């Protein structure tokens, strides 16, 4: 029994290493359809359908606002969200249709309001971005696809 506990403990310690190794696996660029885009001078990435595409976006550098869109108790990624990003004075800087399931945006330092809408149901959040670590927002809807 003691050796079983030792194996479980070793497995638990190695599990995060295994996860990180999976994230570092080569990305099949043939399966990646994401291209950097711009709107009103704001750079962004939208996509993440499939493991390679999601990892490619996850490894992208220079984006200080990361958004994830999911649905249901299983937190299934969804790619059909309309997104609006407004600055602190209410000016719309970015409008995307059928975005996601991941959206990465490079914004000037400041405070922003993000509205994510799916099937007429809106979710709203605020983010303050600067020169530090990226701000992560997760928008979740209940129900089925």
Token reading at 107: 């914004």
Least confident residue range of 27-31, 50-54, 85-89, 98-102: 27-31
**By the 8 A CB rule, do 98 and 39 touch?**
no
Around 71, how many Cα atoms within 13 Å sit in the side-chain half-sphere? 15
pLDDT tier at 76 (50, 70, 90 boundaries)? Answer: very high
Span 59-67, average pLDDT: 95
Closest CA to 140 of 124, 128, 120, 127: 124
pLDDT tier at 34 (50, 70, 90 boundaries)? Answer: confident
Question: Can you give the pLDDT at residue 92?
Answer: 97
Residue partners of 144: CB distance under 8 A and separation at least 6: 71, 72
Which long-range contacts link 108-111 to residues 24+ away (Cβ below 8 Å)? 111/87
CB atoms within 10 A of CB 90: 7
pLDDT tier at 4 (50, 70, 90 boundaries)? Answer: very low
Question: Can you give the pLDDT at residue 33?
Answer: 62
Around 116, how many Cα atoms within 13 Å sit in the side-chain half-sphere? 24
Domains, the chain, with CATH or none: 37-141 (2.60.40.10)
What are the tens digits of pLDDT across the range 118-141?
A: 999 999 999 999 988 999 999 999
Burial class (CB in 10 A: 0-12, 13-18, 19+), 102: buried
pTM of the model: 0.78
């Amino acid at each position: 029994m003691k050796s079983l506990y030792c194996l479980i403990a070793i497995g638990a310690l190695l599990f995060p290493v295994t996860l990180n190794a999976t994230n570092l696996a080569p990305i099949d660029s043939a399966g990646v359809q994401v291209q950097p885009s711009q709107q009103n001078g704001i750079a962004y990435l939208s996509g993440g359908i499939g493991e390679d595409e999601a990892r490619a976006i996850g490894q992208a550098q220079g984006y200080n606002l990361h958004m994830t869109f999911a649905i249901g108790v299983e937190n299934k990624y969804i790619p059909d969200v309309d997104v609006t990003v407004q600055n602190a004075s209410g000016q719309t800087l970015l409008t995307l249709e059928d975005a996601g399931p991941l959206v990465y945006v490079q914004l000037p330092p400041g405070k922003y309001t993000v509205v994510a809408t799916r099937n007429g149901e809106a979710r709203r959040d605020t983010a303050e971005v600067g020169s530090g670590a990226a701000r992560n927002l997760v928008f979740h809807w209940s129900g089925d696809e």
